[in-house]
């Protein structure tokens, strides 16, 4: 009888494994205002996940009557851990925040220095202002970055090191660059990156490569081809030169109309290699394309052909080990039925995960996506947030609220216990058992194998994938933190091409 039940359980679990996966969790409201929009996490690229913050800043706009304010809140494991802090508090429009702070060193720490910049009309035209954060002093009063005659807007910032930041923004139809030292509150190396170009240049974006020994700064921008088309250009410079030695302008995207570029890079890429994502309507609808910024600038289509618009892409690569990573990204999908957020997690090997969240039945609703670096999640996990503004069912009274979905993965997924090859496959009983809320799982594999270790709920629904990688022969141990799940019976399954075994465990809170 027990054998029959065991076989039925295995068949049931296999039947639901490919139809359901729970990587991204359900939306969590991140801010408490009734008209909050345009969220922004840290602009810095992701890196190796042996480091994390206790919490991260999330910047956003809060609309009150005819004015809008720049606010920040701290986001931890479960969502906001404080109420909104008002960076501005006046009767003007303050909008389009951009936030940057340094990714942490190996380990876990607080944010020590940060810079937020935005555009404001308080002087009668659009100017760029900023506020700096020091752990011991908090946020400073707003200060001027550029309030000269003309229009300064679309400002973006990225952290160079702990206290130095790189800023780019649009000045009329040119793209300007400056460096800012947070401790001395001084600016240097002001550069007009498009002074030699006669066409209108707009919507700049800035980032830096993560290559440790020789990082580069990269600025992209849209340059007008004609009244209905923009191309995307870039300039880059190595950060170890003074003054910065900027490259000549070069093309990233030309065919069709192109807009809204973003830049990502990896610690393993060469120093001057990055990946630029952009939107283009060259296929008839708006879709996401990518260009590897090299001498050849090879282009790729990121998403499949679809009869509707895909746009506002955000994504980061989280390196777990030299041969294992998560690529987490999201984008907006618009059709006649409204707008949805599509969130995806792509492993170096499957399984992958896709979640769709409806944010508005109004196809003209304006939303924004932003992705976090990642916060520490006890005992050895990374929790990554993707935030967006979403309208509510009471649209006139609550026009926009900010929500986020989080994704959890471990950056110490498996620990070798013994490199001596066991004589057979074995899945040990977890310990402690019962547990609250962390337990350890050991297993043996007699030869090199692709191994999966998966947690299921009592009804056979997948809860988490702890391991999905090729391991050498040996004995291993990993842990699972069930703090986000209710008490009850769970099953864990070890699977390879020649072995499957399931054990039961009990969580009691």
Q: Which of 83-92, 268-277, 477-486 holds the top average pLDDT?
A: 83-92
Count of residues in the chain: 509
Find out whether 265 and 210 touch, Cβ atoms under 8 Å: yes
In angstroms, the CA 388 to CA 231 distance is 27
Q: Residue-wise over 153-185: b if at least 16 C-beta within 10 A, else e?
A: bbbbbbbbeebbbbbbbbbebbbbbbbbebeee
Whether residue 492 has pLDDT greater than 90: yes
Higher pLDDT, 271 or 34: 34
Residue 346: count other Cβ atoms within 10 Å of its Cβ.
Answer: 16
Q: Which of 8-12, 156-160, 289-293, 374-378 holds the top average pLDDT?
A: 156-160
Q: Which domains does the chain have, with CATH numbers?
A: 415-507 (2.60.40.1930)
Whether residue 120 has pLDDT greater than 90: yes
What are the pLDDT digits (tens) for 312-351?
Answer: 998 877 765 544 567 788 999 998 889 999 998 876 544 5
Q: State the DSSP code for 65.
A: T
Cite the DSSP H helix spans in 209-294: none
Whether residue 183 has pLDDT greater than 90: yes
Q: Residue-wise over 199-230: b if at least 16 C-beta within 10 A, else e?
A: eebbbbbbbbbbbeeebbbbbbbbbbeeeeeb
The predicted pLDDT at position 106 comes to 57
What are the pLDDT digits (tens) for 228-246?
Answer: 999 999 999 988 888 899 9
CA angle 79, 81, 84 (to 5 degrees): 100
Average pLDDT over all residues of the chain: 84
Higher pLDDT, 336 or 435: 435
Lookup: tokens for 362: 């109004």
Find out whether 451 and 445 touch, Cβ atoms under 8 Å: yes
What are the pLDDT digits (tens) for 101-112?
Answer: 986 665 567 889
Burial class (CB in 10 A: 0-12, 13-18, 19+), 106: exposed
pTM: 0.77
The predicted pLDDT at position 134 comes to 95
**Secondary structure class of 11 (helix, strand, coil):** helix
In angstroms, the CA 347 to CA 452 distance is 13
Least trusted range by pLDDT, from 34-48, 175-189, 219-233, 333-347: 34-48
Whether residue 267 has pLDDT greater than 70: no
The predicted pLDDT at position 346 comes to 74
Residue 386: count other Cβ atoms within 10 Å of its Cβ.
Answer: 28
Lookup: tokens for 371: 């992705």
The predicted pLDDT at position 273 comes to 61
Lookup: tokens for 354: 């896709």
């Amino acid at each position: 009888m027990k054998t029959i039940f065991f076989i039925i359980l295995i068949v049931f679990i296999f039947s639901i494994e490919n139809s359901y996966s729970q990587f991204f969790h359900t939306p969590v409201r991140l801010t408490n205002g009734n008209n909050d929009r345009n969220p922004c996490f840290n602009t810095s690229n992701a890196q190796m996940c042996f480091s994390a913050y206790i919490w991260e800043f999330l910047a956003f706009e809060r609309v009150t009557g005819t004015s809008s304010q720049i606010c920040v809140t701290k986001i931890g494991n479960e969502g906001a851990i404080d109420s909104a802090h008002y960076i501005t508090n006046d009767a003007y429009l303050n909008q389009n925040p951009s936030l940057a702070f340094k990714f942490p060193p190996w380990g876990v720490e607080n944010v020590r220095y940060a810079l937020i910049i935005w555009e404001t009309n308080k002087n009668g035209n659009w100017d760029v202002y900023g506020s700096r954060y020091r752990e011991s002093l908090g946020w400073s009063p707003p200060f001027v970055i550029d309030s000269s005659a003309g229009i300064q807007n679309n400002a973006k910032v990225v952290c160079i090191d702990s206290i130095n930041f790189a800023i780019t923004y649009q000045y009329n139809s040119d793209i300007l660059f400056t460096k800012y030292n947070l401790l001395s509150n001084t600016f240097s190396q002001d550069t007009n990156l498009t002074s030699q170009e006669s066409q209108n240049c707009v919507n700049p974006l800035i980032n830096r490569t993560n290559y440790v020994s020789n990082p580069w700064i990269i600025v992209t921008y849209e340059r007008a081809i004609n009244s209905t088309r923009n191309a995307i250009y870039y300039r880059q410079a190595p950060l170890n030169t003074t003054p910065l030695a900027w490259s000549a302008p070069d093309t990233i995207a030309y065919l069709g109309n192109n807009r809204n570029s973003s830049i990502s890079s990896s610690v393993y890429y060469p120093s001057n290699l990055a990946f630029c994502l952009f939107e283009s309507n060259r296929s008839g609808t708006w879709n996401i394309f990518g260009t590897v910024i090299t001498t050849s600038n090879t282009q790729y289509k990121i998403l499949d052909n679809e009869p509707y618009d895909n746009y506002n892409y955000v994504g980061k690569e989280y390196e777990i080990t030299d041969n294992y990573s998560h690529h987490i990204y999201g984008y907006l999908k618009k059709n006649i039925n409204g707008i949805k957020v599509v969130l995806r997690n792509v492993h170096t090997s499957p399984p992958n995960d896709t979640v769709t969240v409806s944010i508005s039945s109004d196809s003209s609703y304006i939303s924004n996506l932003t992705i976090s670096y990642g916060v520490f999640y006890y005992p050895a996990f990374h929790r990554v947030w993707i935030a967006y503004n979403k309208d509510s069912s009471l649209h006139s009274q609550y026009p926009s609220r900010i929500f986020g979905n989080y994704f959890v993965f471990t950056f110490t997924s498996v620990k070798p216990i013994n490199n001596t090859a066991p004589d057979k496959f074995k899945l040990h009983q977890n310990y402690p058992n019962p547990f609250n809320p962390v337990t350890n799982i050991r297993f043996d594999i007699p030869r090199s194998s692709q191994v999966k270790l998966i947690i299921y709920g009592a009804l056979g629904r997948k809860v988490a994938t702890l391991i999905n990688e090729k391991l050498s022969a040996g004995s291993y141990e990993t842990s699972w933190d069930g703090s986000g799940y209710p008490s009850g019976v769970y099953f864990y399954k070890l699977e390879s091409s020649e072995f499957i075994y399931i054990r039961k465990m009990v969580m009691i809170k």
